[in-house]
Structure 1
């Protein structure tokens, strides 16, 4: 492996910025500034540590070379010095690669929580059941990572599962892990109602949006039309007598959000505003992305919902991610959430490799 040459001026700039952030934190005026600076400090901290370790090893390598140039060394000492030099070079290259990845452009939303939307596609009842399976997969994955899942709205299928389910997943870095899940997921299996054993194919769409905070999006109340209505669906007499459901329309963008999950109109309004902020935040991110990237296809996980990204084949017990041509023969473990991270880690690694290749061109 050829030695990776890191731009020393960029490393110095990171160290300088980290020092400035630490100083600014001591004199930060308000909560919003403290939160923003603390996040930046947390992001820069591991990189600063890696840079320090990298530079120490570079110095140790220089010392090792001086020792090897000493003509008075006996063969045993020279062999030990050569081995130490090889070990140091391996550590240096590993740290240099880690730093190089850390220096890649970051998605400004990576640290955020997410809004997860799962909708049944083609396939009728089987598609709704599959949408339910997908949602439970993500909920279990979130639980394993210590994240919190809160359902905002749900529309159940006639035979189970979901026609549509929208939930908030709260956890630091949730978007960084889940953002490549957006797209069309396809399932191939024999439905319980299929007497002849014929395999059916159905689909569900998944959308993962970074959860926006009030500091991320400014919304003018004059741009909103807020309607209240009686909640539909199951819920007994209560939902038929109270206008607890809330529909918010953002007039400039045309974005409409309906929430009826909570019995309290106040809680539904607060959750609807949270979803609205997230969708407006995502629209702005997409606008900026389109300005920065002339060719969106070069970016893995663009979130194009028309793109079939993964197939879950139950008869063969396999899951195939078509974007990276990766097949795992552990479908049950993936659907249970435990092995999903293998797919996610592979997608992140491939994305980083593409970005690094672009820098090398």
Structure 2
């Protein structure tokens, strides 16, 4: 498959467009577009029935399915129109001379690059067959081995993911992000809402390793730091988790901002402890204690649901990937800033030397797509087995 950079660096040809047309036809089959056209008509008729909203939860589920089916059909139709426009631009360029021809050729190449990205997204969507893959995600980042450096590394990962979510047009709500005393953060929990958010972000679950010159070491020695990323699905409203009130301990306290400043003068932050499992959830993003409690309960329910799945099937990998300590030998990806620059995913083998694009601009799609391709290939991942960088 031609990559975006390949198309950007060379003018597109008629043969390239023929190959893209073939790929578009394959993606259309992957997405079962003809079946979804029929499903759209069926769901639209159902949603027009007078009694449709009598069961609000069922109605919302139908409308969500209708929206996803419409999106898939619309994406294919827009891609076909886009391909036709690119062909027209290329044909005109071949009939013209001079600057106008060159401008049209560049326009066709840019259009082909954009269409390639769209096809990548559509193909990726077709791989998401899990119950929650198309829904929202709850992401938690925690510092691992590395002390102060690990806390700073956690804050760098948070910035990277926020930028990635922005690039994809997802809505992010930061539920909890207390600043560490000296540098970085103690932890961060945030909710991501958007198409395929959980399916995409579950590629990030695991241990992330950073190698760099320590910013806090006067001798400027090389430091290795770790942080763990947990990704769980935000449960739909129609999934009920019964939690006995006697099983909860709810504490309230002053919310704090970066550096420890109080963000308000009331006890609005909420900490909920589920006593039987000792799961602790905190939320201080909202100014209202009621809102923070509701958000914390939503996260607690998602974690309890995940725990129940683990107990029943012992297949936690289906939800968030292998559970590993955030330390040496367990990393899924390495970010090396010194003595050379490289980001490498140790599962898929995807790597880049443009570290700034990844950390500063959230350019994670190559790693996310690479992970899912690796997952489909059924390869066995051995933590740290392909990491060639010597430990500091």
Same fold per TM (> 0.5)?
yes
Q: Which one of 307, 321, 324 corresponds to residue 302 of structure 1?
A: 321
Q: Could you tell me which residue of structure 1 aligns to residue 363 of structure 2? A: 339
- Whether contact under 8 Å (1:119, 1:165) holds in the other structure is yes
The runs of 5 or more residues in structure 2 that have no matched partner are 1-21, 78-120, 380-392
Query: C-alpha deviations, 1:199-218, integer Å up to 9, x for none?
Result: 11110001111122432233
Change (3 A) 1:350 1:220: same
Q: Could you tell me which residue of structure 2 aligns to residue 162 of structure 1? A: 185
Q: Could you tell me which residue of structure 1 aligns to residue 48 of structure 2? A: 26
SS of residue in 1 equivalent to 2:133: coil
- Residue 48 of structure 1, CA deviation: 6.7
Change (3 A) 1:318 1:109: same
- Whether contact under 8 Å (1:317, 1:332) holds in the other structure is no
Q: Could you tell me which residue of structure 2 aligns to residue 277 of structure 1? A: 301
- Does 1:266 find its partner at 2:285? no
- Does 1:323 find its partner at 2:347? yes
- Whether contact under 8 Å (1:101, 1:352) holds in the other structure is no
Q: Could you tell me which residue of structure 2 aligns to residue 208 of structure 1? A: 231
SS of residue in 2 equivalent to 1:163: coil
- Residue 191 of structure 1, CA deviation: 0.8
Higher radius of gyration, 1 or 2: 1
Q: Could you tell me which residue of structure 2 aligns to residue 115 of structure 1? A: 138
- Whether contact under 8 Å (2:252, 2:267) holds in the other structure is yes
- Residue 269 of structure 1, CA deviation: 1.0
- Residue 140 of structure 1, CA deviation: 0.8
Counterpart CA distance in 1 for 2:124 and 2:168 is: 23
- Once superposed, what is the RMSD of the aligned Cα atoms? 3.9
- Does 1:124 find its partner at 2:154? no
Counterpart CA distance in 1 for 2:378 and 2:291 is: 43
- Whether contact under 8 Å (1:180, 1:303) holds in the other structure is no
Query: C-alpha deviations, 1:221-273, integer Å up to 9, x for none?
Result: 5454242333375344955xx44333334455543323344443212211211
- Whether contact under 8 Å (1:217, 1:280) holds in the other structure is no
Query: C-alpha deviations, 1:45-67, integer Å up to 9, x for none?
Result: 56678999xxxxxxxxxxxxxxx
Change (3 A) 1:99 1:354: farther
Q: Could you tell me which residue of structure 1 aligns to residue 197 of structure 2? A: 174
Change (3 A) 1:243 1:43: closer
Q: Could you tell me which residue of structure 1 aligns to residue 172 of structure 2? A: 149
- Whether contact under 8 Å (1:226, 1:246) holds in the other structure is no
- Residue 106 of structure 1, CA deviation: 0.6
Counterpart CA distance in 2 for 1:34 and 1:333 is: 42
Q: How does 1:1-361 map to 2 (within 5 A)?
A: 20-27=42-49, 28-29=52-53, 30-45=55-70, 106-222=129-245, 224-231=247-254, 234-236=260-262, 242-251=266-275, 253-286=277-310, 290=313, 302-306=321-325, 307-315=330-338, 316-354=340-378
Q: Normalising by the residue count of structure 1, what TM-score does the alignment of the two structures yield?
A: 0.70
Counterpart CA distance in 1 for 2:203 and 2:372 is: 8
Q: Normalising by the residue count of structure 2, what TM-score does the alignment of the two structures yield?
A: 0.65
The runs of 5 or more residues in structure 1 that have no matched partner are 53-97, 356-361
Query: C-alpha deviations, 1:63-118, integer Å up to 9, x for none?
Result: xxxxxxxxxxxxxxxxxxxxxxxxxxxxxxxxxxx999877671111122221111
- Whether contact under 8 Å (2:134, 2:198) holds in the other structure is yes
Counterpart CA distance in 2 for 1:49 and 1:144 is: 21
SS of residue in 2 equivalent to 1:119: strand
- Residue 148 of structure 1, CA deviation: 2.3
- Residue 122 of structure 1, CA deviation: 0.6
Change (3 A) 1:222 1:309: same
